[in-house]
Amino acid sequence: MYIVILAGGSGTRFWPLSRVALPKQLISITGDSSMLQRTVERVLPLQPERILIITNQLQAAETERQMSSYNAVPIDVISEPVGRNTAPAIALAASIIASHDSSGIMAVLPADHFIKDEKALCSTLINAAESAKKGYLVTLGILPSRPETGYGYIEADMELTGVGPFPVKRFIEKPPLDDALRYLAEGSFFWNSGMFVWGAETILREMETHIPELPTAMNRMHFGDDVWNFSDIGKQIADVYESIPGISIDYAVMEKSENVLMLPADMGWSDVGSWSALPEIIEPDPSGIVSINTDGFVNIDSSDCLVYSDKRIVAAVGVHNLVIVSTSDAILVCDRERCQDVKQVVEQIGVLGLAKYL
| pLDDT, position 10 | 80
145/42: higher pLDDT = 42
Task: Return the SS3 of 161.
Answer: coil
Per-residue pLDDT reduced to its tens digit, 213-256? 999 999 998 876 676 777 778 888 999 999 898 999 999 999 99
Verdict on whether the full-model pTM lies above 0.85: yes
- Amino acid of residue 88: P
| pLDDT, position 227 | 66
Average pLDDT over residues 142-163: 88
| pLDDT, position 24 | 92
Q: Counting beta carbons within 10 angstroms of the beta carbon of residue 26, is it exposed (0 to 12), middle (13 to 18) or buried (19 or more)?
A: buried
What is the fold, at CATH topology level, of the domain defined by 2-271?
A: Spore Coat Polysaccharide Biosynthesis Protein SpsA; Chain A (3.90.550)
Residues carrying CATH 3.90.550.10, the chain? 2-271
Average pLDDT over residues 176-197: 95
- Which of 257-261, 290-294, 344-348 has the lowest average pLDDT? 290-294
Q: Beta 75-80 vs 50-56: how paired, if at all? A: parallel
Per-residue pLDDT reduced to its tens digit, 278-315? 888 899 999 999 999 888 899 999 999 999 998 899 99
- pLDDT higher than threshold 80 for residue 31: no
Residue 333 — pLDDT band, cuts 50, 70, 90? very high
Residue 9 and residue 142: Cα distance in Å, rounded? Answer: 22
| pLDDT, position 101 | 93
Residue 161 — pLDDT band, cuts 50, 70, 90? low
